[in-house]
Amino acid sequence: MKLEKILNTIKRKITAPLIAGALTVGAMMPAYAAEQESVEAAQEDPKKTDESFFQGNLIGSNIDNIVTFNHDNGGRVHYEAVNSPWQEVPQSDHSLGLRTPSIAGKVRLSGTLDASISSENYLGATEMVEVLPADNVIIRAGGIQSTSGKMGGFAGAKFTPEHFTADFEAWYDGTKFDTHGFIAGIIPVGNGELYLSIGGELGERDINTTNGWYNVGGTGIFTGTHFDIDNNTQSLKAIIVPKGYSRGRGFNDFYSHINNRTEMRAVTTGFVQDSWAPFDAFAVDGEKGHAAVAVYANNSEEAIGGKAHLYVRPIPQIFLGVGAGYSYDKVAEEHNPNLVLEAYGAVPGTPVEGWITMDQNLRTGEPNVTGYVGFVNKF
């Protein structure tokens, strides 16, 4: 069984519109503000994160449940189960990610285990040792194994000086050598920063970019692209926030890490260590600014399409979204316009949040409804 069969339900994270070229609800997967802040804190100081707990439940074309706990000493436990009972052949995917606190501020250990239960079972594992010899430097190495015949090792490093990021790995899986990673420059321009990143994977022959200019609290522009040379697919994601932009270098480094699959993502195991992606609507803070526009586009040998969304976030605990799109199925020669409505709310004074979206196919009249309920506690 190929790894893609277990990863196809995991790539609906923020990688979905780029790696998979999808223009589906995957571009707007739920997450939570506490996790976004933890992500940025971990990028800035890998020895610790904000302490938080999250339990999320998503019901749509499948049932997705996740539990994550991040300790402020840098340790974490993440578990996710994705069940697809409505498929012709039901499938159940499980992922467990563990990471220790940094030992004496210099070493930490992590491990990931993925299992897929279906007509063709799959088991994959990744073990990693990270050494933190100095500020802004991480050196890592480990092993990979899977029931699809992969068994080998890898080595890599991450460097994050003031205006530069480099994150990469090389590995041998028992049959071939491969490498992936990215480099990014952070350049002060005007009253903000220009972020320019390019990366990819040599064996997959893909190229990914993460670019944008931002003034946190002010204006922000974000773009991400993916080009798969072998499979002839291209995709684009862009977000524009006139005022109240909430994301800085930490988020962009994290996005680049996901898209280029560093820390050995999508080799024998998936993305459980990264939890879920923040809503695109969270790019605006709901305090200094209240509106964001997101645009998605993709092209492949099977289909071409695009859509645009307007998000309104009157307060941080609420956002509403409306979008319209169009796709053309090149194989079936069908035109598919669609309308998307969504709403998010967090209950004040409680850890409860919820989200619902409806993607209406205007050609067939068939709605695709997805709902989410989560429980968030940041300590």
What pLDDT does 306 receive?
98
Residues of the chain with pLDDT under 70: 1-49, 379
For residue 266, give Cα distances in angstroms to 3, 18, 148: 8, 14, 13
pLDDT at site 183: 98
* Predicted pLDDT of residue 46: 55
Distances, alpha carbon 40 to alpha carbons 103, 246, 251, 354, in Å: 21, 11, 6, 23
Please tell me whether the overall predicted TM-score, pTM, comes out greater than 0.75 for this model. Answer: yes
Specify the pLDDT at position 119.
80
pLDDT at 50: 73
**CA dist., res. 270 & res. 273, Å (int):** 8
Q: What is the 8-class DSSP label of residue 16?
A: I
pLDDT, position 113: 98
Report the b/e string of 50-69 with b at 16+ CB within 10 A: bbbbbbbebebebebebebe
- Fill in the amino acid letter for 337: P
**What local confidence, expressed as pLDDT, does residue 379 receive?**
59
For residue 273, what pLDDT is reported? 94
